[in-house]
Structure 1
Amino acid sequence: MILRHYILTLCLSLLLPLSSGVLAETDSTYKLASGDVISISVFGEPDLSFAEVRLNDAGIFSYPFLGDVRAGGKMASEIERTLTERLKGSYLIDPRVSVSILKYREFFISGEVKTPGGYAFQPGLTLRRAVALAGGLTERASENRITIIRDQDPERRPEPATLDTLVMPGDTITIDQGFF
């Protein structure tokens, strides 16, 4: 039994750096913001690992010993590095930190859809699929008069979009009426 536990621990310690690299690569361009839910794992330290951490309105979360950690506008890999650097030395000798995104913030769709509102983002989501989540287009909807406001755009400018446009977390989509 002890040998089995030792082998499992050894395998996990070898795989953890690989898995964190894969996660960081997958989410390499995604910037965290308020409403995102992340998971933090510190190998061998259950008291410093958290299955679910939601970023507050300011994009911050609280972490033991370190206090508030600003995650808004940063990628998961940057949070991994920040936690590793801040834990190293004072608290741990060689911390192995993994951060992954569990739930993305919602996107919003309004206008000529059957059920306007906020919906859970899924990677690879197109506007066509977003419309399907919102119950489909109404009879008066125009497929040519669609705008999207990107959450990342500080000026919040509406951009023209098509049903093949990729949707990002926090985006606001408006589907206007068509003129007959």
Structure 2
Amino acid sequence: MMKIRSHAPLLFMTVTILISILSFSLQAMASDELFQPTIPQRVLQPVSVNARAATLVHVPETTIVPAHKADGPEYQLGAGDVLKITIFNEADLSGEFKVDGIGKIALPLVGNILVGGKTLRQIETAIAAVYADGYLVDPSVNAEVLNYRPFYILGEVQNPGSYPYVEGINVMNAIALAGGFTYRAKEDDFLITRASNVNEAKQAFGPDAVILPGDIIEVQERFF
């Protein structure tokens, strides 16, 4: 009779090996998860509109003080202005005239006439009235400014003094013409004496303020 050989020991050994391999794999996976470095995630916090607005820096607007334009109808003439006076059909009476230190010009036939502190329209009316008084019949007069009187800048600038007036010039332009500030200069506001109001106190103006012929600009010294 043939004997049947039992395979139980071999089967038991195979199962044991498989269990060992499976156990080792599970331990390795657990170890990887345990020691895997954690990458921190940046959490973005929502920023509200109000929070952003709070970071804005408020820059105050420069206040520009209105002034009559030099070529406007309200400009008042003064010493140093040069006028061109035209009396129609009277070439001998027309010409260029400079306003003297007391605000007068010398006209042919009629002599000195006060023009300081007057506008061009007022001067035209005054000259026409003078010539109509025994010299001309219904004279027609036109007056215009050929050259404006200079302005003056004093105080903490490199080259204080008088400078030719240019239409539309402002305080910062004037300071640039004078070579810029000194290291002691106060650079945010300035004192101006208007030529048309020399009897009034100095007024504070910002850097964009328009200046007029004859104005006196003072750049002050800062205290710190």
TM-score above 0.5: yes
Task: Tell me what 1:105 maps to.
Answer: 149
Count residues in correspondence: 154
Asked if the contact 2:105/2:114 (under 8 Å) is kept, the reply is yes
Kept in 2, the 8 Å contact 1:83–1:97? The answer is yes
Larger Rg: 1 or 2? 2
Q: Which amino acid aligns with 2:206?
A: T
Higher strand fraction (1 or 2): 1
CA distance in 2, matches of 1:70, 1:151: 17
Whole-angstrom distance in 2 between the partners of 1:150 and 1:66: 31
2:205 is matched with which residue? 161
SS at match of 2:137: coil
Residue deviations 1:10-53, cap 9 Å, x none? xxxxxxxxxxxxxxxx4311111111111111122110011x21
CA contact (8 A) 1:27 1:76 kept: no
Q: CA deviation at 1:93?
A: 2.5
Q: Residues 189 and 207 of structure 2 are in contact (CA less than 8 Å); yes or no, is this contact kept in structure 1?
A: no
Structure-to-structure mapping, 1:30-179, within 5 angstroms: 30-50=75-95, 52-88=96-132, 90-179=134-223
Q: Displacement, 1:94?
A: 3.3
| Cα separation, 1, equivalents of 2:217 and 2:130 | 39
Structure 1 residue 58: Cα displacement: 1.0
Name the SS for the 2:197 alignment partner. Answer: coil
Paired with 1:89 and 1:131, the residues of 2 have a C-alpha distance of: 48
SS of structure 1 residue aligned to 2:146: strand
Structure 1: gaps of 5 or more residues: 1-25
Cα deviations by residue, 1:121-146 (Å, 9 ceiling, x for unpaired): 22212101111111122233221242
Is the CA contact (8 Å cut-off) linking 1:33 and 1:55 kept in structure 2?
A: yes
Structure 2: give runs of 5+ residues left out of the alignment. 1-70
Distance 1:140 1:152 in 2: 30
State the distance in 1 between where 2:77 and 2:150 align. 12
Give the secondary structure class of the aligned counterpart of 2:187: strand
Backbone CA RMSD of aligned residues: 1.7
Question: Is 1:27–1:75's contact at 8 Å kept on the other side of the alignment?
Answer: no
Q: Is the 8 A contact 2:124 2:143 kept in 1?
A: yes
